[in-house]
């Protein structure tokens, strides 16, 4: 390259180089972001029927797990909370199932196709059925936005998802998917969209959105958890607990007409007492 001969020439070259580097930097970041974009694009191409098929496989696998809580009173209470919400979910192609699983993690996980797994410590942390409803409403938001499928496609690729759907012997894969989903982290945009969906659904279901804020506040790091040993708040690590999200819940609560609030009549303390203790033998 010929050396620049004047100051103007050098300034022009420097500006040009800066623009080229800026464009390259943006392209690099876009290229890194591309797999997620592609995953979203690919996930959108996956028919819902395949997702539902995958869910059935996951549900079948889960139901063989001895840690699934099968207590009829608890299941009825959770279903009652779920049904209050689902009565206001219109135009959905998913049938939402909620399973309660014994664990030592405070967490709730949503799998593709509308399978929501709530872990017992999270249930214990809720003070009312409305607080559980707030968590479920958020998770239903993920289901409706197909976030679990998008994350799964991002993690394992669309071809693996297809092979899981098409059968063979999917159990080892399903087991892997279940383990992956325990650590899955949605993007902030996905979380925020699920929050907005959940808060709207709560209001439509005549439940005060402040319940979501109250529950999220319990997940803040200084919260002490009942038990002899500290319990890791997995829900916190997989659902970024920003103050702004709590503020959004309280802002939605301000807009909510409290005259329309209808409590969920469940003796929640009784339900929580019926939960298996972490010290029980499985």
Interacting residue ranges for another protein, rule: CB under 8 A = 4, 7, 10-11, 13-14, 21-22, 24-26, 28-30, 32-33, 188-189, 192, 242-244
Judge contact between 115 and 58, C-beta under 8 A: yes
Alpha helices per DSSP H over 106-146: 120-125, 129-144
Length of the chain: 282
Task: Determine how many CB atoms are found less than 10 A away from the CB of residue 6.
Answer: 8
Report in angstroms how near the CB of residue 148 gets to another protein at its nearest. 21
Tokens of 180: 């992956």
Judge contact between 82 and 96, C-beta under 8 A: yes
Report in angstroms how near the CB of residue 233 gets to another protein at its nearest. 18
Choose between 14 and 262: whose C-beta lies nearer to another protein. Answer: 14
Report in angstroms how near the CB of residue 189 gets to another protein at its nearest. 8
Report in angstroms how near the CB of residue 10 gets to another protein at its nearest. 4
Tokens of 232: 């890791």
Choose between 83 and 244: whose C-beta lies nearer to another protein. Answer: 244
Choose between 5 and 169: whose C-beta lies nearer to another protein. Answer: 5
Report in angstroms how near the CB of residue 243 gets to another protein at its nearest. 6
Choose between 26 and 175: whose C-beta lies nearer to another protein. Answer: 26
Report in angstroms how near the CB of residue 220 gets to another protein at its nearest. 13
Burial class (CB in 10 A: 0-12, 13-18, 19+), 198: buried
Report in angstroms how near the CB of residue 29 gets to another protein at its nearest. 4
Choose between 41 and 188: whose C-beta lies nearer to another protein. Answer: 188
H/E element, 227: none
Choose between 53 and 145: whose C-beta lies nearer to another protein. Answer: 145
H/E element, 74: helix 72-86
Choose between 33 and 95: whose C-beta lies nearer to another protein. Answer: 33
The closest alpha carbon to 65, from 188, 221, 179, 143, belongs to 179
Measured CA to CA, the distance from residue 132 to residue 135 in angstroms comes to 5
**Burial 93-120, CB ≥16 within 10 A → b, else e:** ebebbbbbbbbebbbbbbbbbbbbbbbb
């Amino acid at each position: 390259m010929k050396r620049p001969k004047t100051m103007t020439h050098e300034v022009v070259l420097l500006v040009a180089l800066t623009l080229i580097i800026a464009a390259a930097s943006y392209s690099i970041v876009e290229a890194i972001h591309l797999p997620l974009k592609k995953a979203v694009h690919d996930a959108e191409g996956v028919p819902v029927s395949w997702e539902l098929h995958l869910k059935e496989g996951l549900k079948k696998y889960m139901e063989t797990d001895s840690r699934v809580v099968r207590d009829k009173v608890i299941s009825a209470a959770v279903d009652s909370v779920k049904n209050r919400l689902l009565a206001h979910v219109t135009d959905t192609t998913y049938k939402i199932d909620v399973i309660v699983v014994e664990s030592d993690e405070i967490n709730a996980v949503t799998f593709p196709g509308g399978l929501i797994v709530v872990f017992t410590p999270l249930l214990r942390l809720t003070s009312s059925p409305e607080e559980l409803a707030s968590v479920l409403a958020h998770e239903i938001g993920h289901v409706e936005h197909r976030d679990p499928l998008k994350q799964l496609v991002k993690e394992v690729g669309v071809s693996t998802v297809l092979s899981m759907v098409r059968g063979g012997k999917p159990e080892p894969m399903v087991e892997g998917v279940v383990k992956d989903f325990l650590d899955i982290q949605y993007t902030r945009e996905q979380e925020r969209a699920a929050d907005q969906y959940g808060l709207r659904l709560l209001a439509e279901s005549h439940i005060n959105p402040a319940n979501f804020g109250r529950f999220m506040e319990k997940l803040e790091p200084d919260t002490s958890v009942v038990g002899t040993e500290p319990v890791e708040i997995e829900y916190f690590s997989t659902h970024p607990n920003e103050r702004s999200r709590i503020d959004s819940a309280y802002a939605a609560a301000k807009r909510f007409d409290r005259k329309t609030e209808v409590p969920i009549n469940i003796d929640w303390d009784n339900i929580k007492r019926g939960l298996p203790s972490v010290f029980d033998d499985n």
